[in-house]
Chains A and B, each alone.
Chain A
Amino acid sequence: MRADAIIRRVPWGAILRPLVTAGVVLGAAEIAQRAGLLPVFVPSPSQVASEMIANPRLVFGNLGPTAWKAAIGYAIAAAIAVSAGAVAILIRNLYGAVYNFGLTLHSIPIIATAPLLALWLGTGPQVQIAIAGLASQFPMLVGTMQGLQAADARQRELMHVLSASRSQTMRYLLIPSALPYLFAGFKIAAPSAVLGAITAEWAGADRGVGAMMLYALFSYDTPKVWLSVLLTCVLAASGYGVWVLIERIVVYWDRDVQLAE
């Protein structure tokens, strides 16, 4: 699509409005802290900001590991979930089994999986990568399975009347109609991967936002605790936000979908 069409598609209003609100809230918090109105465990935004600027290596040294651990886990989960979902649609008998398996994996809490995986896989990033994957697979699986079934009966009849081959039907109908659902799944899964990685870091990791959080808590370093919470939210939100942007550009026809749980 042409550049101006893409620029038009970006929802500037939706991006700017919350930013302005956030700016107002932060400004108010700053004033309140200076006036001594906030409790001692709530630093002002400027304190958190200066903490961040004063410790770039800390910030990026922890943001980086968590980001790539979450990303790798997410990518592996995406590949497996999409393939499994496609197989479940192509082979009817496997539909229930694949769905239930994904649901079961999704329901096992991190509490149980993290220590067990640590026992089996040893220390190192592989545990967090695995947890990030386990935490994010289900929405992508559901998105794939729902998406590939999204074409309605009339559209399928149309393809039949036009004598489209199976691969043509896939290409012209099934895949485009699946896209809104796929994106919905990827969108929701991204923050889950981030939060999964961070939670897994609590169970034992030396680098990463979760680890940074624990160190900051044990040294009673309030601004660093808030900084790590901020980084958590930023990481989770950017994962989501990236997909929202891509979705807006790729899925340019009017479709609002809700994934069934």
Chain B
Amino acid sequence: MIRINLRGLTASALTVLLSVLGIAAIWQLVILGFRIPPYIVPPPVAVAHSFVTNWHVLGEHMAFTFSAAALGLTFSTVMATTIAVVFSMSRNIAQASLPMVLAFRSTPVAAVAPIMMLFLGRGISTSIAVVTIVSFFPLLVNLMRGLVSGDRNANELLHVYGASRWQQLRFVRIPFALPYLFTGLRVAGSSSILGAMLSEWVTGSKGLGNLILDSGEMRETELLWASVLTSVTVALCVFWVTSAGEKRLLRWRQ
């Protein structure tokens, strides 16, 4: 069961709040000290104002980007899990498929996005597909490590008890693989947000990526900063959630 440490959470929330205020203060001081004109770096108050004024625009675009990333991650998790399970059960299939899997390694968004756009058009589906492809390999690698590494002794124990392969999978391998899944999600998670935004640059669809680009072109500096900060915050949140999940699960499996 997942216990939520209330006191710990409020402590971290306060830390975050204080850091944000601290950064804003330094930001303002730097602007004043170096006399930076507002069209290059707007003061924090102006950015905050922009947040408030444009919150529904920001929210709408953020929702697009976030759902593209989330759906893409979901698809690739399902795919990666299935394939990882199959690979762990049959070494022959794993070896035969190795070259194809390696093709996905470090696939750059720059190459994948245009091709997916040819296939799926300008909508959110391209972003989803790009995220799926780019996050597939890290997830698969980590899942494989998890499924294969699952405690040798525990596996052998079940084997001696006459457990079938499926039972081994269920009682030993999958629980052991779970933390590794979260490691993969941590690696793939924040880059999925960024991957979704880069896809938007190519397709021109809605989302934070294009909001950033458009506000830049229209010289709406405060909105630009607001959207950049939003995207960075979302990416950090995803990272924080997946890290926390990973650490939590790793603690159980010492």
Interface string of A110-129 (1 = CB under 8 A from B): 11100110111000000000
B134 within 8 A of A: no
* Across-interface contacts of B228 in A (CB, < 8 A): 111-112, 115-116
B203 and chain A: residue at smallest CB distance = A217
B176 within 8 A of A: no
Contact B108 A236 (CB under 8 A): yes
B194 within 8 A of A: yes
Query: How far does the alpha carbon of A109 sit from the alpha carbon of B235 in the complex, in Å?
Result: 10
- Mostly helix, strand, loop or mixed at chain B's interface? helix
B118 within 8 A of A: yes
B119 within 8 A of A: yes
Interface residues on B, range: 20 to 34
A113 and chain B: residue at smallest CB distance = B228
A191 and chain B: residue at smallest CB distance = B108
* Across-interface contacts of A202 in B (CB, < 8 A): 198, 201-202
Query: How far does the alpha carbon of A199 sit from the alpha carbon of B119 in the complex, in Å?
Result: 20
Query: How far does the alpha carbon of A4 sit from the alpha carbon of B39 in the complex, in Å?
Result: 61
Query: How far does the alpha carbon of A115 sit from the alpha carbon of B221 in the complex, in Å?
Result: 10
Query: How far does the alpha carbon of A220 sit from the alpha carbon of B216 in the complex, in Å?
Result: 26
Q: Indicate whether A198 sits within 8 Å of B110 (C-beta atoms), given known contacts A119-B224, A214-B202.
A: yes
Interface string of A175-208 (1 = CB under 8 A from B): 0000000000000000100010011001110000
Contact B110 A232 (CB under 8 A): yes
List 22 A-B residue pairs with CB atoms under 8 Å apart, sorted by A's residue number. A41-B118, A41-B119, A109-B232, A110-B198, A111-B194, A111-B231, A112-B232, A116-B228, A118-B216, A119-B40, A119-B216, A119-B219, A120-B40, A199-B109, A199-B201, A202-B202, A203-B216, A216-B114, A229-B111, A229-B115, A232-B111, A233-B111
Give, as a whole number of angstroms, the nearest-CB distance from A86 to chain B.
Answer: 29
- Pick from B111, B117, B231 the residue with the most CB of A within 10 Å: B111
Interfacial residues of chain B within 215-254, with CB under 8 A of chain A in the complex: 215-217, 219, 221, 224, 228, 231-232, 235
Question: What residues of chain B have their CB less than 8 Å away from a CB belonging to chain A?
Answer: 39-40, 108-111, 114-115, 117-119, 194, 197-198, 201-203, 208-209, 212-213, 215-217, 219, 221, 224, 228, 231-232, 235
Q: Indicate whether A39 sits within 8 Å of B201 (C-beta atoms), given known contacts A118-B216, A232-B108.
A: no
Question: What residues of chain A have their CB less than 8 Å away from a CB belonging to chain B?
Answer: 39, 41, 109-112, 115-116, 118-120, 191, 195, 198-199, 202-204, 210, 213-214, 216-217, 222, 225-226, 228-229, 232-233, 236
Contact B108 A195 (CB under 8 A): yes
Give, as a whole number of angstroms, the nearest-CB distance from B108 to chain A.
Answer: 5
Contact A111 B209 (CB under 8 A): yes
* Across-interface contacts of A109 in B (CB, < 8 A): 194, 197, 231-232, 235
- Mostly helix, strand, loop or mixed at chain A's interface? helix
B214 and chain A: residue at smallest CB distance = A115
Query: How far does the alpha carbon of A37 sit from the alpha carbon of B232 in the complex, in Å?
Result: 43
Contact B198 A199 (CB under 8 A): yes
Contact A203 B213 (CB under 8 A): yes
Contact B114 A204 (CB under 8 A): no
* Across-interface contacts of B202 in A (CB, < 8 A): 202, 213-214, 217
CB-contact partner of B201 in A191, A203, A228, under 8 A = A203
Query: How far does the alpha carbon of A120 sit from the alpha carbon of B232 in the complex, in Å?
Result: 20
Which 8 A-B residue pairs are closest in the complex by CB-CB distance? A115-B216, A41-B118, A202-B201, A112-B228, A109-B194, A111-B197, A198-B110, A195-B108
Query: How far does the alpha carbon of A199 sit from the alpha carbon of B201 in the complex, in Å?
Result: 9
CB-contact partner of A204 in B111, B115, B217, B235, under 8 A = B217
* Across-interface contacts of B215 in A (CB, < 8 A): 115
Query: How far does the alpha carbon of A213 sit from the alpha carbon of B114 in the complex, in Å?
Result: 7
Query: How far does the alpha carbon of A120 sit from the alpha carbon of B219 in the complex, in Å?
Result: 11
Q: Indicate whether A199 sits within 8 Å of B114 (C-beta atoms), given known contacts A111-B197, A111-B209.
A: no
* Across-interface contacts of B201 in A (CB, < 8 A): 199, 202-203
* Across-interface contacts of B118 in A (CB, < 8 A): 41, 217, 222, 225
* Across-interface contacts of A232 in B (CB, < 8 A): 108, 110-111
Give, as a whole number of angstroms, the nearest-CB distance from B37 to chain A.
Answer: 11
* Across-interface contacts of A214 in B (CB, < 8 A): 202
